[in-house]
Structure 1
Amino acid sequence: MRCGLIFTLLCCLAGAAQGASASALAAPHKAYLTLIIDDLGQNLPRDRRVLALPGPVTTAIMPDTPHAAEFAREAHQAGKTIILHMPMDPATGPFAWHPELPVEELGKRLDAAFKAVPYTAGINNHMGSRMTAEPAAMAWLMDELQRRHKFFLDSRTSAKTVAAAEAQKIGLASVSRDVFLDDERTEAAITTQLQTAIKLAHRQGSAVMIGHPYPQTLAVLERELPKLKAQGIEWIDIKLMISVRGNQAMAGHGKDGVYRYR
């Protein structure tokens, strides 16, 4: 009788363990998505559509735009994360960084840009295919952002970028873009890119998207973002994404969590 009872208990425990294991295997894999909209500050009615998107969109505001400070205040009041969309070579203008500029001038332009865009939590590069390939300048920038308690988002406008690698070297809070939504400005192409980001998030656990306030992009986002949850996607703020990734490079950015350097 006693042996039979023990056998029955063992069978129950084995069944419970098997069930727990099956539940763990069946548990949905976390898939996180972050969205940044660049080039803001130029057109208030258009940019306000970005603030109305249903989730934690990050607003990247250009310093040399007529509504930079005003839109930053509105974004702050709406509870959005604001980053400085810093012009870098081949971008032009009074704030733009160029490889031939001395560090003193880079610092002056960075100071002026931060003053033009209040409430910033971090920075990403506007253009910058030449500038982000400059190790010395990028190392200086990451030290400066560390001093200012700002994070860095590498827009990855060039495969030669060393920006994220320099951030990783000093442990600066940073993250890198995975998908550009709207290199091709048609709703069909943008929808395809969004689905690419969703698939990537399911495959590697997270994806970082950058888009622009084009009418086609906003139309797609307004239509598709409310569907993310049903597709197993959790849309999170960029600061949480930095925490989720822990400053590690994704497969498209490097190897074994380390960013490629050139």
Structure 2
Amino acid sequence: MAKIWSLLCFTLLLFTFNTQAARLAIVIDDVGYRVNEDNKLLQLPVAVSIAILPNSPYGRKIAEKAHQQGREILIHLPMAPLSQQPLEKNTLHPAMNREEIARIMQDAIQKVPHAVGMNNHMGSAMTSNLRSMEKVMQVLSQSRLYFLDSVTIGNTQVTKAAMGTPVPVLRRNVFLDNIQTEAETRHQLNRAITLARRQGSAVAIGHPHPTTMRALQHALARLPDDIELVTPGMLLNGDQTARNGIKPRETKPVPETQWEALKRVKKILSDNALFNTLNRYMQKLWGNQAGAQNPRRTV
């Protein structure tokens, strides 16, 4: 009976730790044009990362503020879409040669200090072109940045293009605000949470819209206990900051220690009615067995 009880306790502990393993990364794109919105963005939990447009007027200033917070920074690199729409300066096009791509990318890296990653701004035409993305990955392999595929088109070639290079690649799972309402952002955030629980992790991308900021400020303060808010770099194999030779800075919220996790497990179990009923029953049973094995001596 004692072995069965031990197995039950172990199973409950294993279940509890597994439910806490889901990791969610959130990246806010298009940063650098709106001072008020960008400053509100910096009030979100520090694990929320930002992707800065390299030719935006306030991008460098926001990058410095974010770096002081310990926030993860990406370069939001403009890439050509299939549709006709206004483009950012120095937008990458499939027709560009490797030298032109390298020049634009190096310029972007200089304009966004402290960046550890890069993702595409628009880019359905560029990211669906394997040869073009191979050029991008060849250049990126010299910078020690990871690449987050925003997945703006279904047949993206980003992952395939990175094969054979040292560039780590992540993929976006959910867009938070294609429809700009607080209700839609909350709905998409819940989708991302469900995916994180199912897959172990998920990446969500949003934008500095007022509705998005309000929804995230409210929702992230009430994340479920089994969801850990992380940076995209933390989803890669190994610590991205260590790979880049950057000394990690203390950030908030920080991952809980093993002792804190065990205390949380204890609280969860102590609040569980079934666990308490079984515990009382087993204590009584063990007490009866101990009494039978060690009867009281009479004189």
Q: Is the radius of gyration larger for structure 1 or structure 2?
A: 2
**Shift in Å at residue 131 of structure 1?**
0.2
Q: Give the secondary-structure state (helix, strand or coil) at the position aligned to 1:185.
A: coil
Matched, 1:129 2:124: yes
- Kindly provide the amino acid, as one letter, of the partner of residue 14 in structure 2: A
CA distance in 1, matches of 2:214, 2:9: 45
2:233 pairs, out of 209, 221, 239, with 239
Q: Contact conserved, 2:46 with 2:71, CA < 8 A, in 1?
A: no
How far has the Cα of 1:93 moved from its partner? 3.3
Could you list the runs of 4 or more consecutive aligned residues of structure 1 that deviate by over 6 angstroms after TM superposition? none
Report percent identity of matched pairs.
Answer: 35
Q: Is the 8 A contact 1:94 1:109 kept in 2?
A: no
Residue 48 of structure 1 aligns to which amino acid in structure 2?
A: N
Deviates most, 163-172 or 69-78: 163-172
- For 1:59 and 1:229, the matched residues in 2 are separated by 23
Give the gaps of 5 or more residues in structure 1: 1-10, 247-262
Which residue, 146, 149, 166 being the options, matches 2:144? 149
1:253 is matched with none
Where does 1:66-81 land on structure 2 (aligned, <5 Å)? 66-81=57-72
Q: How many residues get paired?
A: 235
Report which stretch shifted further, 131-140 or 87-96. 87-96
The CA deviation at 1:95 is 1.4
| 2:259 alignment partner in structure 1 | none
SS in structure 1 opposite 2:118?
strand
In structure 2, the partner of 1:252 is none
Letter in 1 for 2:139: E
Distance (whole Å) between structure 2 residues aligned to residue 223 and residue 168 of structure 1: 39
Q: Which residue of 2 aligns with 1:34?
A: 25
Question: Which position in structure 1 is the counterpart of 2:206?
Answer: 211
What residue is the counterpart of 1:138 in the other structure? 133
Offset at 1:82?
0.8
- The amino acid across from 1:72 in the alignment is A
Q: 122-131 or 143-152, which moves further after superposition? A: 143-152
1:47 aligned residue (17, 29, 38): 38
Query: TM-score, normalised to structure 2's length?
Result: 0.74
> CA, structure 1 residues 107+26, in 2 after alignment: closer, same or farther (shift >3 Å)?
closer
How far has the Cα of 1:42 moved from its partner? 0.3
Equivalent in the alignment of 1:101: 96
Indicate the residue corresponding to 2:181 in structure 1: 186
- For 1:81 and 1:226, the matched residues in 2 are separated by 19
CA drift at 1:61 = 0.2
Q: Say whether residues 1:222 and 2:217 are aligned partners.
A: yes
Work out whether residues 62 and 84 of structure 1, in 8 Å CA contact, stay in contact via their aligned partners in 2.
Answer: yes
Cα distance between partner residues in 1 of 2:69 and 2:46: 11
Q: Which residues in structure 2 correspond to 1:9-28 (within 5 Å)? A: 11-25=1-15, 27-28=17-18
Letter in 1 for 2:33: Q
Displacement of 1:171 after TM fit?
A: 4.4
* Gap regions ≥5 residues in structure 2: 241-299
Counterpart of 1:36 in 2: which secondary structure? strand
Report if the CA contact (8 A) 2:27-2:49 is conserved: yes
Note closer, same or farther for the CA distance 1:224–1:18 as it changes in structure 2 (3 Å cut): closer
SS in structure 2 of the partner of residue 120 of structure 1: coil
How far apart, in 2, do the equivalents of 1:22 and 1:75 lie? 40
